[in-house]
Structure 1
Amino acid sequence: MINLHLGNIGQIIQLAIAPVFLLTGVGTNLTVLTNRLARIIDRSRVLEDMVSAQGAETLSPNMRIELDELYQRSHLINRAITLSSTCALLICLVIAALFLGDALDLHLDKIVAALFVSGVLALIGSFIYFLREIFVATKTLRRQREHGARFLP
């Protein structure tokens, strides 16, 4: 039988505030990551359209390098998005476990702690992949500046 009292709900909501703020930050992070992925996809399509219109033999070495870097960046961003989404899911489970533990009088403190730490570790992993993607993008920009080439039609 579920045993919830108004005072208990207030305490649970207070406990759930920190995970909710973290969830808000993760949502913002996901927005940034998906916007970067969209830009990578758009740039890849431009280059791939150039190749299909002019033929693969017109693909310069710099264009091949840029396409390879774009594919590398997309994989890094996809991993970051996966880890951020995993973090969001784990934080949602933390909030649910807080309410269920109190409502059903279960001692889920170790589960809540494990879920929260796992969520934070997933977020750390997401930021690491995000940083790696930024480093690849910066390297691409530096290379293009040195060679004076960007291949937009």
Structure 2
Amino acid sequence: MLQYSPAVSTIAQTIQLSLSPVFMLAGIGALLNVLTGRLARVIDRARVLEGLHPRSHGPEHDRHVWELRLLDRRIVIINRALYLAVFSAVMTCSVVALLFIAELAGLRIGQFVATAFVLSMVLLIAALISFLVEVRMSLRAVEVREELLR
């Protein structure tokens, strides 16, 4: 049996401390859902254009090549955002685990917990910036061309 067994109230306080990171995990999960949905749509559009590409000529062909290049860059950026968001989630899970380990083992590792949380936030910020960059790129693809507005 454990020589040191924390009081139930102490465990309850640790659970309360871990609620904020758990809510953050829910938000990261929602972001991952949005990112995977966007990635699926980009891949679907790329497949359609890959089918049209060999049969197109002239300006239409140039437009397909331009859009395929844009889609390829968007795929890279979405993947980057996905990786960053997943790493942020892993760091957030580490924060929760460290909170409990510190409490159960009586360790004073507050600086490690704080560092893990800050790193998680930095990764999430980077994921959100990548998401914003990808959204801006997608808007370039749907701008109505001047020749169609005449």
Q: Which 10-residue stretch deviates more, 1-10 or 28-37?
A: 1-10
Name the CA distance, whole Å, in 2 between partners of 1:56 and 1:7. Answer: 73
Secondary structure (helix, strand or coil) at the match of 2:120 reads helix
Counterpart residue number, 2:114: 113
Decide whether the 8 Å contact of 1:80 with 1:130 is kept in 2. Answer: yes
Post-superposition Cα deviations, 1:65-96, rounded to whole Å, max 9, x if no partner, equal: 00000001111111000100010000000000
The runs of 5 or more residues in structure 2 that have no matched partner are none
TM-score normalised according to structure 2 size: 0.90
Asked whether 1:94 is paired with 2:92, we answer no
Percentage identity across paired residues of the two chains = 37
- CA 101–147 in structure 1, closer or farther in 2 if over 3 Å, else same: farther
Counterpart residue number, 1:85: 86
Decide whether the 8 Å contact of 2:14 with 2:100 is kept in 1. Answer: yes
Asked whether 1:35 is paired with 2:37, we answer yes
- Read off the aligned partner of 2:102 and give its amino acid letter: G
Decide whether the 8 Å contact of 1:51 with 1:58 is kept in 2. Answer: no
Map 1:3-152 onto structure 2 (within 5 A). Answer: 3-51=5-53, 54=55, 60-142=61-143, 144-148=144-148
Q: Aligned-pair distance for 1:140?
A: 1.3
Name the CA distance, whole Å, in 2 between partners of 1:131 and 1:91. Answer: 22
Q: Aligned-pair distance for 1:141?
A: 1.0
Decide whether the 8 Å contact of 2:53 with 2:61 is kept in 1. Answer: no
Secondary structure (helix, strand or coil) at the match of 1:131 reads helix
Post-superposition Cα deviations, 1:87-106, rounded to whole Å, max 9, x if no partner, equal: 00000000000000000001
The runs of 5 or more residues in structure 1 that have no matched partner are 149-153
Name the CA distance, whole Å, in 2 between partners of 1:57 and 1:135. Answer: 27
Name the CA distance, whole Å, in 1 between partners of 2:57 and 2:95. Answer: 51
Q: Aligned-pair distance for 1:25?
A: 0.3
TM-score normalised according to structure 1 size: 0.88
- Aligned residue pairs total 147
RMSD: 2.1
